[in-house]
Amino acid sequence: MTRKPASLFAAELVRPAIADAFRKLHPRVMAKNPVMFVTLVGAVLTTAGIFTAGADWAFVLQLALWLWFTVLFANFAEAMAEGRGKAQANALRSARSETFARRLRDDGSEERVAATGLTKGDRVVVEAGQTIPADGDVIEGIASVDESAITGESAPVIRESGGDRCAVSGGTRVLSDRIVVQITMERGQGFLDRMIAMVEGARRQKTPNEVALTVLLAALTLIFLLVCVTLRPFGTFAGAEFSTPVLIALLVCLIPTTIGALLSAIGISGIDRLIQRNVMATSGRAVEAAGDVDVLLLDKTGTITLGNRMATAFVPAPGVSEEQLADTAQLASLADQTPEGRSIVVLAKQRFRLRGRDVAEPHATFVPFSAQSRMSGVDFGAPAAPVRCIRKGAAEAIAGFVAALGGRPDPQVLAAADSVSRSGGTPLVVADGGRMLGVVHLKDVVKGGIQQRFAHLRAVGIRTVMITGDNPLTAAAIAAEAGVDSFLAQATPEMKLQRIRDEQAQGRLVAMTGDGTNDAPALAQADVGVAMNTGTQAAREAGNMVDLDSNPTKLLDIVEIGKQLIMTRGSLTTFSMANDVAKYFAILPAMFAGVHATGAGPGPLAGLDVMDLHSPQSAILSAVVFNALIIIALIPLALRGVAYRPASAAVVLRRNLLLYGVGGVVAPFVGIKILDVLLTVLHLV
Partner 1 sequence: MAAILLILLIVGGTAALSWPLGRYMRWAMDPLTLTGPAGRCDRWFRAVGGRLTHREQDWKQYCLSLLTFNVVTFTVSFAFLALQPWLPLNPDGRQEIEGSLIFNTVASFTTNTNLQHYSGEVSMSHLSQLCALMWQQFVSAATGIAALAAMARGLAGRATMGNFFVDLQRATFLVLLPLALVVAFLLVLGGVPMTLEGAARALTLEGAEQLIARGPVAAFVAIKQLGTNGGGFFGPNSTHPFENPGFFTNVVSTMAIIVIPMAAVWMFGRIVGRMRHATVLFAVMMALLLAKLGVALVWEAAPTQAFANLPIAQDVGNLEGKELRFGAAAGPVWAVMTTCTSNGSVNCMHDSLNPLTGLVPMVGMWLNATFGGVGVGLINMFIYIVLAVFVAGMMVGRTPEYLGRRVEVREVKLAVLAMFTHALLILGGTALFAASPWGAGTLNNTGAHGFSEILYEFSSAAANNGSGFEGLGDNTVPWNVATGLVMLLARFIPILLPLAIAGFLARKRATAPSVGTLGIDTVTFGVMLIATILFLGALTFFPAAALGPIAEHLQFMK
Active site residues: 299
Least Å from the CB of residue 554 to partner 1? 18
Shortest reach from residue 669's CB to partner 1, in Å? 16
To the nearest whole angstrom, how small is the minimum distance from the Cβ of residue 400 to partner 1? 40
Contact 118, 124 (CB under 8 A): yes
645 touches partner 1 (CB under 8 A): no
> Does residue 347 belong to the site contacting partner 1 (CB under 8 A)?
no
* Cα separation, 424 vs 446, whole angstroms: 10
Tell which positions 593-612 bind partner 1, by CB under 8 A. Answer: 595-596, 603-605, 607-608
CB of 596 to partner 1, least distance (A): 6
Residues 263-322 within binding reach of partner 1 (CB under 8 A): 288, 291-292, 294
Write the CA distances from 458 to 293, 300, 462, integer angstroms: 12, 18, 5
Considering beta carbons, is residue 550 or 576 the nearer one to partner 1? 576
Closest C-alpha to 460, from 675, 647, 231? 647
Q: Environment class of residue 626 by beta-carbon count within 10 Å: exposed (0-12), middle (13-18) or buried (19+)?
A: buried
Give CA–CA dist 438/238, Å, rounded: 100
Cβ at position 643, least distance to partner 1 in Å? 12
Cβ 547 to partner 1 shortest distance, Å? 21
Name the residue nearer to partner 1 (CB basis): 174 or 287: 287
Q: From the CB of residue 600, how many other CB atoms can be counted at a distance below 10 Å?
A: 5
Q: Which of 445, 644, 663, 680 binds partner 1 (CB under 8 A)?
A: 644
Contact indicator for 523, 512 with CB cutoff of 8 Å? yes
Q: For residues 531-590, which are near partner 1 according to CB under 8 A?
A: 562-564, 566-567, 569-571, 573-574, 577-578, 580-581, 584, 588
Is position 627 an interface residue for partner 1 (rule: CB under 8 A)? no
Q: Is 344 in the site for partner 1 (CB under 8 A)?
A: no
Closest by CA position to 325, among listed 440, 425, 442: 440
Q: What is the DSSP string of 124-176?
A: EEEETTPBP-S-EEEEEEEEEEE-HHHH---S-EEEESSTT--EE-TT-EEEE
Does residue 369 interact with partner 1 by CB under 8 A? no
Helix (H) or strand (E) holding 544: none
Helix (H) or strand (E) holding 484: none
Distance CA 403, CA 433 (A): 10
Closest separation in Å from C-beta 338 to partner 1: 36
Looking at 26, 506, 599, 600, which residue binds partner 1 (CB under 8 A)? 506
Interface size with partner 1, residues (CB under 8 A)? 72
One of 23, 232, 355, 422 touching partner 1 (CB under 8 A): 232
CA distances to 248, 261, 421, 475, 611 from 669, rounded to whole Å, are 21, 21, 66, 59, 7
Residue 661 C-beta: closest distance to partner 1, Å? 6
Residue 130 near residue 99 (C-beta atoms within 8 A): no
State yes or no: residue 41 binds partner 1 (CB under 8 A).
no
Q: Which own/partner contact pairs does 479-488 have at CB distance under 8 Å and 24+ positions apart?
A: 481/424, 481/446, 482/304, 482/305, 482/446, 482/447, 482/450, 482/451, 482/454, 483/450, 483/451, 483/454, 483/455, 484/298, 484/304, 484/454, 485/454, 485/458, 487/300
Site for partner 1 in 46-85 (CB under 8 A): none
Task: Among 54, 108, 121, 233, indicate the residue that binds partner 1 (CB under 8 A).
Answer: 233
Residue 226 in the binding site for partner 1 (CB under 8 A):
yes
Residues 442-481 that bind partner 1 (CB under 8 A): 459-463
* Per-residue contact flags (x/-) with partner 1 for residues 87 to 106, judged by CB under 8 A: --------------------
Stretch that binds partner 1, among 414-422, 470-478, 506-514, 535-543 (CB under 8 A): 506-514
Using rule CB under 8 A, residue 211 touches partner 1: yes
Binding residue for partner 1 (CB under 8 A) from 222, 387, 405, 670? 222
HEC profile of 443-458: ECCECCCHHHHHHHHH
Specify the residue, 533 or 573, whose C-beta has the smaller distance to partner 1. Answer: 573
Is 500 one of the binding residues for partner 1 (CB under 8 A)? no
* Cβ-contact 45, 39 below 8 angstroms: no
Q: Least CB distance from residue 232 to partner 1, whole Å?
A: 8
**Under 8 Å between Cβ of 592 and 247:** no
Decide if residue 262 touches partner 1 (CB under 8 A): no
Q: Of 367 and 587, which CB lies nearer to partner 1 in the complex structure?
A: 587
**Options 11, 360, 600, 650; binder of partner 1; rule CB under 8 A:** 650
Looking at the Cβ atoms of 196 and 217, the one nearer to partner 1 is 217
**Is there binding between residue 352 and partner 1 (CB under 8 A)?**
no
> CA-CA distance, 447 to 50, in Å (whole number)?
67
> Which part of the chain contacts partner 1 (CB under 8 A), choosing from 49-57, 400-408, 421-429, 653-661?
653-661
Answer yes or no whether residue 212 interacts with partner 1 by CB under 8 A: yes
- Residue 350 is a binding residue for partner 1 (CB under 8 A): no
Could you say whether residue 165 binds partner 1 (CB under 8 A)?
no
Which of residues 339 and 661 has its CB atom nearest to partner 1 in the complex?
Answer: 661
Q: 528, 558 in Cβ contact below 8 A? A: yes
CB of 229 to partner 1, least distance (A): 8
Determine which residue in the list 41, 197, 445, 657 makes contact with partner 1, applying CB under 8 A: 657
DSSP lists the bridge partners of residue 281 as 545
What is residue 109's DSSP assignment? Answer: -
Chain centroid to CA 468:
24
Q: Is 387 in the site for partner 1 (CB under 8 A)?
A: no
Smallest CA-to-CA distance from 116 within 101, 137, 103 is with: 101
Burial of 684: CB neighbours in 10 Å, binned 0-12, 13-18, 19+: middle
